[in-house]
Amino acid sequence: MLATLKELKQHKVISEGDYYFAQLIAGKQPDELPREQKNLAILLAALCSYSYQQGNTCLFLEKGLESNYFNLAYRTAEQHYLHIIQEKIAFLPIECWQSSLADHIAFTATPLEKVAPLVFQFNALYFYRIWQDEYRVAHYLQRAVQRGAETAPTAYEQINAILMHYFPAVQQIEGVNWQKVAVATALKQPFCLITGGPGTGKTTTVARLLLALQTLSACQLKIKLVAPTGKAAARLTESINGALTRLAQENMAISADLIASIPTTAQTLHRLLGIRFFEETPTFHPNNPLPLDVLVVDEASMIDLPLMAKLLQALKPNTKLILLGDENQLSPVEAGEMLGALSEFSQNAYSPALTQYLKAVADIELISSDQGSPLRDHLCRLHHSHRFSGDSGIGQLAQAINQGNVEVSWNAFTHFNDIEMVDFDQVALLKGDNPSLYSQACAALVVKSAVEKYTDYLVKLKALQQQSPILNEQQVGEIFVLFNAVRFLTALRVGELGVEQLNQKIAQRLQQKGLLDFKHERDWYLGKPIMIQQNDRHIGLYNGDIGLFLGQGKVWFEQGQGHYKTVLASRVPNYETAFVMTVHKSQGSEFAHTCLVLPTEPNPILSRELIYTGVTRAKQQLTVFSSAEIWKSAVKNPVKRQSGLNQLLVELFNKSD
């Protein structure tokens, strides 16, 4: 089996890591084991590693797997390996795999009693450490539900008065005020997940919630705001400041002490927990928990399973946790999809107990059901978008994508003025004879558009430089406004329509127009946009931060609230040019005009979630570069990550009933 896996590695079907983990398991097996059993153990080790690299926390052992090991069914040149692999395990049926390896040293079906590298649970296979993380997340949620005892009736009147203050009658909206429901629910529960699409008011809701919590506690609570990345943390900082300013302007009689008790600066999760490179244990852990009363985590959809487990383990039992996110966005880069798993519990109505509480404190009547999971009472989705009106093409398009309405999503481009499709099929005559020429022609369309749209900020920069080579903060702000007016996003890193080549071609074309001046791509040229690729807390730059080189040997970075900082170009950590960024990197950002570029050929990375994430980065205008075939295939391809969290939660809650 190892020889076969080595060939698959050479064909780039599996990774070096997949192969060497299988080799490790092979080296630990007793010699007396039957050959077929040894081969099965080696195969499952490689499959588990391969599955984890695809973002799954486990590998479902179900019918159909044997006809598509390592996705070989989609690789014509290597499909014959499927039969070879089956021969090496003597065509043993999947339902017999676990019993066949019941006594194998590398496998366990009782991980709480026996530790082994690989774990069988719920007819699925895990790495032990990943099973452990999933188990820890599930147990945190179980304990949070158990702690969510009813708020003392004596507090109802006080909560009702606070909610009336922060949600005055003059601001009541038509239908259910889900922001009010979310605040009331989070006041009661030790854990609350608030989800919603762009513009639904997640940050405003949290601002009201934090004001309400501090009002109840006489400003005594210690609160922190965090996000997964530096860029998302900066965005949360800007949003929470904006929300507090708006609420203060609404004459809510918010005292200076109350405002001062709300944190207005967010940090990264890694910094909060004290996670350091090459150190297994963070600063804060079960034996040294975070000294917090309330923790707000934004962009929770970006958090992978291992990081979420570390976070939950670092919380004190009485710390209130508020997660914010959009479950329709891209899953984390690494394995795990907690928001997706939890959203499945939101299908039923709230429990009678919670609906009675909401009626008492918020005067909101909702349908109740005693059929749902107890987790349902900890989840709230905001439905009304304040960013996209009913006649907004961006909003309608996002909704069609979420619903998987392929034709509706494609036809939307002809019905709205704020969304545009640059159809790659307009150069389809080149596609049949020469796919490479076709890709180049499509890339040329993107480059031409980018050069036109990025001209404004470069012309402005040149004009200011002619007045004085030293820019003040106001002038820098004017340049950033023009630069941030548009951003190009792409699905891929490599290829004609990937980040690397598009950035290179756009810079070269701008140089040919006389708007940029450089000899080599890595030169620091006037107007060069960059994106930071690694965190450097000493300088205060984080992965995803965007900067502009504006002369004098300095790069300027936005700090939010109209403020900027400069860093010497010689001190800037690892970066890349940022005329174009990946959709993944754009999470947590928004741009007035977003241009989404899709590849010309099918690619496994294309999914409904990727399209939705790219589309919803646009605030006012969206342009998509794609063919009908690629667009439609992506919209009907939702990501289906394999995870046992949902099943584990069901089992835990059934046991506790």
Check whether 202 is labelled as a binding-site residue: yes
Residue listed under structure tokens 């079907």: 13
Check whether 577 is labelled as a binding-site residue: no
Is the distance from CB of 484 to CB of 592 less than 8 angstroms? yes
- Spatial neighbors of 175 by CB under 8 A, at least 6 apart, are 384
107-108 and 546-549 beta bridge pairing: unpaired
- Spatial neighbors of 173 by CB under 8 A, at least 6 apart, are 384
Check whether 203 is labelled as a binding-site residue: yes
E strand residue ranges, 500-562: 529-532, 546-549, 554-560
Check whether 355 is labelled as a binding-site residue: no
User: Whose CA is closest to 351, among 324, 328, 374?
Assistant: 374
The 8-class DSSP code of residue 391 comes to T
Check whether 200 is labelled as a binding-site residue: yes
118-121 and 107-108 beta bridge pairing: parallel
Is the distance from CB of 644 to CB of 335 less than 8 angstroms? no
- Spatial neighbors of 655 by CB under 8 A, at least 6 apart, are none
Phi, psi of 58 (to 5 degrees): -150, 170
Cα distances from 47 to residues 19, 85, 94, 304, 352, in angstroms, run: 10, 12, 13, 20, 45
Check whether 245 is labelled as a binding-site residue: no
E strand residue ranges, 152-242: 191-196, 223-227
C-alpha 42/C-alpha 118 separation (Å) is 11
Check whether 505 is labelled as a binding-site residue: no
Interaxial angle between packed helices 156-166 and 352-362, expressed in degrees from 0 to 180 and rounded to the nearest 10: 60
Instruction: Compute how many other C-beta atoms are within 10 angstroms of the C-beta atom of residue 30.
Output: 9
The 8-class DSSP code of residue 618 comes to E
> What are 414's two structure tokens?
């002809």
C-alpha 422/C-alpha 596 separation (Å) is 10
Check whether 205 is labelled as a binding-site residue: no
Residue listed under structure tokens 């835990």: 652
Is the distance from CB of 120 to CB of 60 less than 8 angstroms? no
Bridge partners (DSSP) of residue 126 are 119
C-alpha 9/C-alpha 5 separation (Å) is 6
- Spatial neighbors of 284 by CB under 8 A, at least 6 apart, are 272, 273, 274, 290, 314
Instruction: Compute how many other C-beta atoms are within 10 angstroms of the C-beta atom of residue 26.
Output: 18
C-alpha 130/C-alpha 124 separation (Å) is 12
Please count the residues of the chain: 657
Question: Binding site membership for ATP: which residues?
Answer: 196-203
Question: Binding site membership: which residues?
Answer: 196-203
